[in-house]
Copies of this chain bind each other. A is one copy, B any other.
Amino acid sequence: MVSVTRRETFSASHRLYNPVFSEEQNRAVFDKCANPNGHGHNYVLEVTVTGTPDPATGYVVDLKELKRIIRAEVTDKLDHRNLNMDVEFLRNVIPTAENIAVAIWRVLESKIPSGVLSCVRLRETENNVVEYRGGQ
């Protein structure tokens, strides 16, 4: 079993805010991430697929095809967008890195052309990164 990881990027804005919280609670929990007019990041997405290399090609997964799928299903829908307002698969999700990573997993899980999806890693800043490996 070999793991293959493809890295893609997107630039988006968001605001962390829970509408059931008061303004004071939102400020207490999310601090400057709750600023009313939003802020943004250059996100780095790494998608890992694990499987056995095909003896005829030496590929676990065709990276050209994996790249095409990640772009069509995920990053084309997130890039240069507002994650609170513009993205169907994030509707009603507080767009923390944790929640975005889990949402990306759900979008990609059934679309991997060979091997199985084993990790979605999402870097929000050079200091903060989250990782989801499926399951509960």
Residues on A close to B: CB < 8 A?
Answer: 1-9, 11-14, 16, 18, 20-21, 29-33, 35, 37-42, 52-53, 56-60, 62-64, 67, 79-82, 85-86, 93-99, 101-102, 125-133, 135-136
Bound-state Cα–Cα, A11 to B97, Å: 14
Chain A interface, DSSP helix/strand/loop, else mixed = mixed
Shortest CB–CB separation between residue A108 and chain B, in angstroms?
16
| Residues B9 and A58 in contact, CB atoms below 8 Å apart | no
In the complex, how many angstroms separate the beta carbon of A130 from the nearest chain B beta carbon? 5
Q: How many copies does the complex hold?
A: 6
- Smallest CB separation, A124 vs chain B (Å): 8
Which single member of B4, B11, B57 contacts A18 (CB below 8 Å)? B57
